[in-house]
Every structure is written in C-alpha cells, then in structure tokens.
Amino acid sequence: MAAIFIDPSLGLRTARDPQNIGVITEEIEGLIRVNKDGHVERPEIVPCVSSALPPELGVFSRDIVIDKSINIWARFYAPTSPTGKLPLLVYFHGGGFCVGSAAWSCYHEFLAKLAAKSSCLIMSVNYRLAPENPLPVAYEDGFKALLWLKQQATDHLSGSHQWWLGRCDFTRIFLVGDSAGANIAYNLSTRLAFNDAFEEKSLMPLVIKGVVLLQPFFGGETRTSSEKFMAMQSARKSALSLAASDTYWRLALPAGANRDHPWCNPLAKGSIEVEKLGVLPTLVCVSEMDILKDRNLEFCGKLRKAGKKVECEVYGGVGHAFQVLSKSQLSLTRSYEMVGRIKDFVSRIL
C-alpha cells in the first residue's frame, strides 16, 4: 500500500461576504486571523511534512484516513526493530483547538523520536479545528478515532493495515496529548470514566490503561499567579501568552460560554467533581515557565486529594510546548527527560 499525504487545509469552503472581507475580529499574530465574514486564515508558521522518516531512526510512518467526509485522519508511527505486541499511544496535537496539524514538522519529529525511544506505536490524530468547528467537535473527533480503532481491532484479519495492526496490543492503549491535545485526552478520559458502563462496552476490545497530559490547556475566569506574574517573565521562553490563551478560548468555546465552562476549567463550579470520576492512572507534565503552571499543579493536587492515581513532573526552565517548539539545548535536554518519563509511566501501567 503506497503512503499517502493528507492536505491539512482540506475542508468546506463557502462564498465570502464582500462587505466584510478584511475586517478582522480575532487575531493571534502569525498563527490565526478570523475575519468578520467568518473566513479564517492560518499562516504556515510551521511547515507541514509528509510521513517520510530517515531509515536510521528505526521508525516507519504512514498517514491513514479515518473519515474522509470530514477530513479526520491519523499519522501512525511504528518502531521497526522491536518484536512482539506494543502499547499504542493515541496522541492529540496542541494549538489551542484552532491551529496545528498531525503533519506539522515539529510534531512529526517529536512523535517519531517518542515512538523510537518508548517502543510504542503512536496514532497521531488530526481533528477538526475551531472556530469553524467549535467544541465539542474536537472531542467528538477524538471519540470517532477511538471507534475507528475499535473497528480495526475487530476486523484485523482484513489485512489492509497489517504493518501496525499485527504489532498492536489493543489492551494497552494510552490517551496522550499536549496543550489543547492534552485537554482532548482528559475530556475523553472523563467521558469514559463517567459513562464507563456504556462507553467501555462500545469500545471493546480496546482497553484504555492510562492518560498522559503534557502541559494541559485549561483556563478560568479568575487569574492564577502564574498567569498574572509569569506572563511577562516567560514571554521569551514560552510559546503561549495570556492574550493568545484568551483568544483561543473565545474561538473554541460554544457561543456564550466563558472560561469557567467545564471544558475549559475542569475545577470550576458545575464541572464533574473529580471525586465522582473513576480517573485512569494519569501522568501530568508541567513546564516551570508556562503561564498554565499553576492550573496544571492545582489540577494534579485536586486529583491527588480525591485519591486518584496521578503523577506530576515539573520541567525546570522551559515554557509551554517546549518539546515541539523550542530548539534550545535546555529544551532538548528536557525533551529527552520527558520522553524517558513517558516511557517509564507506560511500562509500569500493566
């Protein structure tokens, strides 16, 4: 089967309103511009690349269509040398729900290295973006990807994807993501935990064993200390500013919702109480110079207080999404440490 490359820009295009062309209502410089007529522009700040990888890395990658009608697809990574069944990491990329792609070069490089070092299969899901597709579309796309995965596990004898199917341990699946992707992974896990009787049956024979959240993208109306005081200090070390965070949430949340919506703030009044959740074993990776640091730490503390199995690792001196967006020597060192931590977590959850 020949490798394919999915155009991440594919989607429905509608006629534009001439009177509103050029009238900008929301913008994050260099990343996204939303016009009054609804037209969205996303400059190619990060190049999209094909699934090709250098042979010496020891990882094979290929793009596979999940649902062509709505352009959901995934990039798979499979180590070439290890034998036997391998755990599967279902990965969701970041980008504030509004930008990003499984084809972005930074994710392609990071996930290829993660697959090689952790000896795991990886399914990197490309989901639909806001504001054209506000939440909960990204969550629904994530669940559709799991249902598609279930179908592959059930019909594995069909043979079209044997290059990875034959090596996948469908009883050891982990939901993983960074930033907005970590938010997706968490919300999928709460859906499974809160409606376990129905959802677990609908996903059989898949078994979700744990969750890995890298700098999870949460928010809230009340500012935390790291949001108020670290924003300026970390501006040169972190990819996420407070203004950008607020803009992402305005574009991603349903009309009329604020940042205390449960999808944004899992600890807000009205959210599902963590005490009532059968939360899966969870690893949370936090960046010291990230405006989200306090929210991430508070989230871990609430889970621990509720008696949930949560591990928290703080990476010093680096900012938001350092593992994919920074090439400094410190970031490379911390990325190596993070990959090792993920490998250790996955290997211990049997």
- Per the residue annotation, which of 141, 290, 294, 326 is the catalytic one? 290
51, 61, 101, 179: the catalytic one is 179
Active site residue 179: yes
Beta bridge partners of 190: none
CB 207: neighbour CB atoms within 10 A?
12
Phi, psi for 340 (deg, rounded to 5): -65, -40
Q: β-strands 24-28, 32-35: how paired?
A: antiparallel
User: Which residues, other chains included, contact 327 with Cβ-Cβ below 8 Å and sequence gap of 6+?
Assistant: none
DSSP result, 244-304: HHHHHHHHHSPTT--TTSTTT-TTSTTSPPGGGS-PPPEEEEEETT-TTHHHHHHHHHHHH
39 classed as catalytic: no
User: CA-CA distances (angstroms) from residue 73 to 52, 69, 70, 109, 211?
Assistant: 16, 10, 9, 18, 21
Catalytic option among 63, 320, 326, 335: 320
Residue 56's contacts (CB-CB under 8 Å, 6 or more residues apart) are: none
Torsion of CA 94, 216, 202, 103, to 10 degrees: 10
Catalytic residue positions, numbered: 179, 290, 320
